[in-house]
């Protein structure tokens, strides 16, 4: 019977499994997913009624058709009451059984589809309620009169009102007074067509009695409000306005962030002063106002004197505190319409609009200088500062922003060059033919303060063994705009402006610091050459300062050699000779640089405590196998031998020049043949990688 029934159902395309009894049926129901069970009531051990009870108790989602020879009314009634879909009596007619199976399965699928739809709807409603109430936005509905008919739970977090406190109240109870008129129109207007949806940024008033409000203050909340008109289509084609659905997003934090971003874009974060962007805008406004009303205004450039010493001695944190206090003192000297800007580093610029006369500007500058001169107390350290102020007046000192800033900068540098701690008005006398000199002089001064200079080293080599026996320290300037600048472009200006004195002190100290580091790393002892200007030698304390720096770094004098140009020695007095002798006594050698370009007599050479003659590169360049142009080099070599002096050649670029100079008795050579000048770290790496005893350079045969 089972097998014939299975065959019948399979012919109709059904998938059928068999169970020989109630126990097996229950096991299969537990482990499978069946749509329909054809169940006999009369079975041993576990009959059909017990199987039905199991299905009901465990809510097994399967339909049941009873196929049984039991014909009593009570049995049929009990089977149907226990959930059977139909009852087919044995012996059954195949068509009748198949019709019952088809109907039952159709009922099963429809029932399951409906149940699934109901479950989905319930889940959707549950999720909708959850999302609305858990939304970070305030969601509400209003009736046509603007009365709240619904609010979600978020309103309590944002505005401090429980939903039931707003239901039945007019929306105006939460509108901030500052934008009441505008918002009233927005809420109450019956929008249609494309204007059914609209959003706006507004302020809402919070419940002051609530302590649950999560906003930046306890008075207002900035929201972005979206409002949707709700309408019902009428049979006559008209649309009935039902009210408004609204969603308010808290944008207080966003507005605060936007304000912070805007503030940072236009202000210096350390001093809270306007930055260059905002200052440029204020200057443009000043230009427009001055031109329209034919007035003048002043642009001041302020630079702190010796500020680098504070950073070096007390640290950058203390330097930052000093800048903050300086800016506060300057602000205390200004009017509300004046604009002070931190231009960068320790530089400030100041705009004084609507100036009636030059004397008023001078009074402001003096007031600022007096305020900054007072001692600063920073972390229990008393610090004294001063300012150098350059002043440019519109329109006499320039009619563009760039011209005025340059004029104020030049005037400020004149104050620096005159001893600092003061102010100066720009005048035409500061420009003209001296403009390049002044610009380079100013840039050099700033470069010294901002550490734009570097010391490079070029090897000095024994021409016989090709071993490095010394280094010449050479100054380089890493200009922020021009790149690497060589001394030929600025040394003459440095000497004329006397900036060569602090610049030379910096070179000596930097070189000593580097050599001490090399020696600590195991680099062999080398002879170090330093170029010294006659302007430096003229300083009364040159010798004591030079020796003092060597002692500070624990370096002996015999590893140093100073190079003085031949032109620098001509016309020198007895004091200079005494200084050279004092250096010689300490072990420091003296060389005449660029020898051959001047007109030094033999008597001069005999009077000076000179150890070395350094042949100028222009004469080395003339050494040529095909031309007999080396007579000057030969003459210098003979002179050096006659005076028992060392001979050094610079600018050696070919092996021909090297061989010629070696035959003349040159003890040291330097030039691109052996290598150009390198930064300090690259020089150290080169020395550390070469064998101690040499040779340090190998040339092909």
Using one digit for the tens of pLDDT, what is the confidence trace for 566-609? 766 765 667 888 898 999 999 999 998 877 665 555 556 677 78
271-432: CATH architecture: 2-Layer Sandwich (3.30)
* Sign of the CA dihedral running 181, 187, 191, 195: positive
Average pLDDT over residues 352-369: 92
pLDDT at residue 604 in the model: 63
Provide the sign of the torsion angle of the four alpha carbons 311, 316, 318, 322, taken in this order: positive
| Residue 68 backbone phi and psi in degrees, to 5 | -145, 155
Residue among 561, 667, 542 at smallest CA distance from 609:
561
> Residue 532 contacts by C-beta under 8 Å, 6 or more apart in sequence?
504, 562, 563, 564
Alpha carbons within 13 angstroms on the beta-carbon side of residue 518 total: 26
Q: What is the pLDDT at residue 478?
A: 92
pLDDT bucket at 365, cuts 50 / 70 / 90: very high
Residue 588 is classified by DSSP as -
More confident residue, 252 or 455: 455
* pLDDT given for residue 433 in this prediction: 44
User: What pLDDT shows up at residue 429?
Assistant: 64
Q: Where are the domains of the chain?
A: 2-130, 135-257, 271-432, 458-689
pLDDT at 259: 77
Q: What angle do CA 486, 492, 495 make, to 5 degrees?
A: 120
Query: Which backbone phi and psi does 233 adopt, to 5 degrees?
Result: -75, 125
Which residue reads 């108790």 in tokens?
57
- Give per-residue pLDDT as tens, 147-196: 999 988 888 888 888 888 999 998 888 887 766 666 666 655 555 554 44
Give percent of the chain with pLDDT exceeding 90.
31
CA distance 422 to 532: 32
In whole angstroms, what is the distance from residue 385 CA to residue 372 CA? 6
From the number of C-beta atoms within 10 Å of its C-beta (0-12, 13-18, 19+), residue 412 rates as buried
Question: So what CATH class is 458-689?
Answer: alpha beta
Element (H, E) at 9: helix 2-11
Residues whose CB falls within 8 Å of the CB of residue 471, separated by 6 or more in sequence, listed in order: 457, 458, 459, 460, 526, 527, 528, 529, 683
User: Residues 324-350: what's their mean pLDDT?
Assistant: 92
Look at 124 and 669; give whichever has higher pLDDT: 669
- Cis amide leading into 683 (omega within 30): no
Query: Which of 600 and 536 is assigned the larger pLDDT?
Result: 536
Q: Which CATH superfamily is domain 135-257 in?
A: PAS domain (3.30.450.20)
d(CA 427, CA 420): 18
Q: Across all residues in the chain, what is the average pLDDT?
A: 84
Q: For the chain, how many residues are written?
A: 701
* Predicted local distance difference test score (pLDDT) of residue 203: 80
What is the Cα–Cα distance from 651 to 404, expressed in whole angstroms?
A: 45
Q: What does the alpha-carbon distance between residue 310 and residue 322 come to, in Å, rounded to a whole number? A: 9
Closest CA to 588 of 661, 512, 475: 512
Residue 144 main-chain phi, psi, to 5 deg: -60, -20
pLDDT at 47 over 60: yes
Reported as type and span, the H/E element at residue 151 is strand 148-151
Please give the DSSP secondary-structure letter assigned to residue 489.
Answer: G
How much is the average pLDDT of 73-95?
84
Res 669 pLDDT > 90: yes
Alpha-carbon span 445 to 388, nearest angstrom: 13
Q: Using omega within 30 degrees of 0 as the cis cutoff, is the peptide bond preceding 227 cis?
A: no
Q: What is the pLDDT of residues 485-532, one digit of tens each?
A: 888 788 878 887 788 999 999 999 999 999 999 999 999 899 999 999
Q: Percent of the chain at pLDDT above 70?
A: 88
The tokens describing 365, both together, are: 């500058």
Give per-residue pLDDT as tens, 215-247. 445 567 888 888 888 888 888 888 888 888 888
Q: What is the pLDDT averaged over residues 556-564?
A: 93
Higher pLDDT, 311 or 249: 249
In the numeric block, which tokens belong to residue 591? 């060389």
User: Dihedral through CA 514, CA 520, CA 526, CA 529, nearest 10?
Assistant: 20
Give, as one character, the DSSP assignment of residue 310.
H
Q: Going by DSSP bridges, is the β-strand pair 339-344/483-485 parallel, antiparallel, or unpaired?
A: unpaired
Query: Regarding the domain with residue range 2-130, which homologous superfamily does it belong to in the CATH classification?
Result: Response regulator (3.40.50.2300)
């Amino acid at each position: 019977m089972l097998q014939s029934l299975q065959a019948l159902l399979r012919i109709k395309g059904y998938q059928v499994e068999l169970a020989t009894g109630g126990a097996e049926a229950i096991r299969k129901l537990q482990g499978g997913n069946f749509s329909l069970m054809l169940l006999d009531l009369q079975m041993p051990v576990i009959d059909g009624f017990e199987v039905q009870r199991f299905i009901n108790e465990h809510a097994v989602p399967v339909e049941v058709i009873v196929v049984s020879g039991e014909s009593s009314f009570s049995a049929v009634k009990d089977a149907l009451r226990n959930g059977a879909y139909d009852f087919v009596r044995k012996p059954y007619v195949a068509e009748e059984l198949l019709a019952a199976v088809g109907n039952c399965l159709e009922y099963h699928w429809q029932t399951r589809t409906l149940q699934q739809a109901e479950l989905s709807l319930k889940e959707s409603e549950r999720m909708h309620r959850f999302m609305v109430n858990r939304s970070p936005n305030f969601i509400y509905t209003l009736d046509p009169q603007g009365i709240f008919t619904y609010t979600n739970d978020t309103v309590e977090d944002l505005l401090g009102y429980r939903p039931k406190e707003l239901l039945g109240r007019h929306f105006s109870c939460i509108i901030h007074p500052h934008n009441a008129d505008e918002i009233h129109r927005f809420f109450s207007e019956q929008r249609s067509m494309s204007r059914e949806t609209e959003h706006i940024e507004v302020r809402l008033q919070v419940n002051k009695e609530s302590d649950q409000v999560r906003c930046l203050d306890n008075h207002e909340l900035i929201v972005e409000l979206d409002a949707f008109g709700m309408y019902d289509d009428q049979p006559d084609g008209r649309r009935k306005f039902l009210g408004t659905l609204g969603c308010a997003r808290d944008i207080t934090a966003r507005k605060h962030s936007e304000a912070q971003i805007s503030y940072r874009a236009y202000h210096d974060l350390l001093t809270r002063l306007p930055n260059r962007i905002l200052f440029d805008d204020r200057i443009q406004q000043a230009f427009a106002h001055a031109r329209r009303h034919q007035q003048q205004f002043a642009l001041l450039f302020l630079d702190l004197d010796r500020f680098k010493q504070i950073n070096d001695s007390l640290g950058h944190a203390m330097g930052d505190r000093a800048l903050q206090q300086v800016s506060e003192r300057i602000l205390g000297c200004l009017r509300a319409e004046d604009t002070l800007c931190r231009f960068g580093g320790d530089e400030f610029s100041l705009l004084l609009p609507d100036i009636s006369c030059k004397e008023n500007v001078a009074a402001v500058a003096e007031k600022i200088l007096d305020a900054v001169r007072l001692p600063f107390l920073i972390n229990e350290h008393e610090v004294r500062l001063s300012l150098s102020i350059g002043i440019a007046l519109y329109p006499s000192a320039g009619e563009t922003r760039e011209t005025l800033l340059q004029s104020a900068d030049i005037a400020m540098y004149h104050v620096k060059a005159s001893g600092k701690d003061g102010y100066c008005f720009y005048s035409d006398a500061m420009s003209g033919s001296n403009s390049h000199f002044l610009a380079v002089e100013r840039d050099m001064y700033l470069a010294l303060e901002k550490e734009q200079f570097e010391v490079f080293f070029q090897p000095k080599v024994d021409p016989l063994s090709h071993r490095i026996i010394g280094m010449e320290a050479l100054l380089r300037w890493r200009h922020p705009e021009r790149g690497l600048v060589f001394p030929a472009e600025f040394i003459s200006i440095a000497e004329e402006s006397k900036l060569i004195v602090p610049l030379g002190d910096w070179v000596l100290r930097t070189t000593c610091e580097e050599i001490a580091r090399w020696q600590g790393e195991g680099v062999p002892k080398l002879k170090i050459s330093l170029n010294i200007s006659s302007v430096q030698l003229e300083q009364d304390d040159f010798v004591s300062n030079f020796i003092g720096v060597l002692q500070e770094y624990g370096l002996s004098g015999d590893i140093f050699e100073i190079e003085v140009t031949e032109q620098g020695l001509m016309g020198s007095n007895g004091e200079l000779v005494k200084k050279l002798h004092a250096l010689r006594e300490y072990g420091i050698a003296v060389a005449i640089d660029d020898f051959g370009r001047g007109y030094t007599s033999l008597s001069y050479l005999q009077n000076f405590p000179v150890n070395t003659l350094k042949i100028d590169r222009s004469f080395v360049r003339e050494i040529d196998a095909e031309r007999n142009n080396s007579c000057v080099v030969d003459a210098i070599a003979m002179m050096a031998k006659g005076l028992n002096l060392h001979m050094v050649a610079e600018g050696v670029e070919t092996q021909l020049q090297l061989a010629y100079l070696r035959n003349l008795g040159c003890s040291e050579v330097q030039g691109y043949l052996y290598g150009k000048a390198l930064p300090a770290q690259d020089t150290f790496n080169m020395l550390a990688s070469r064998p101690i005893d040499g040779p340090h350079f190998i040339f092909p045969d």
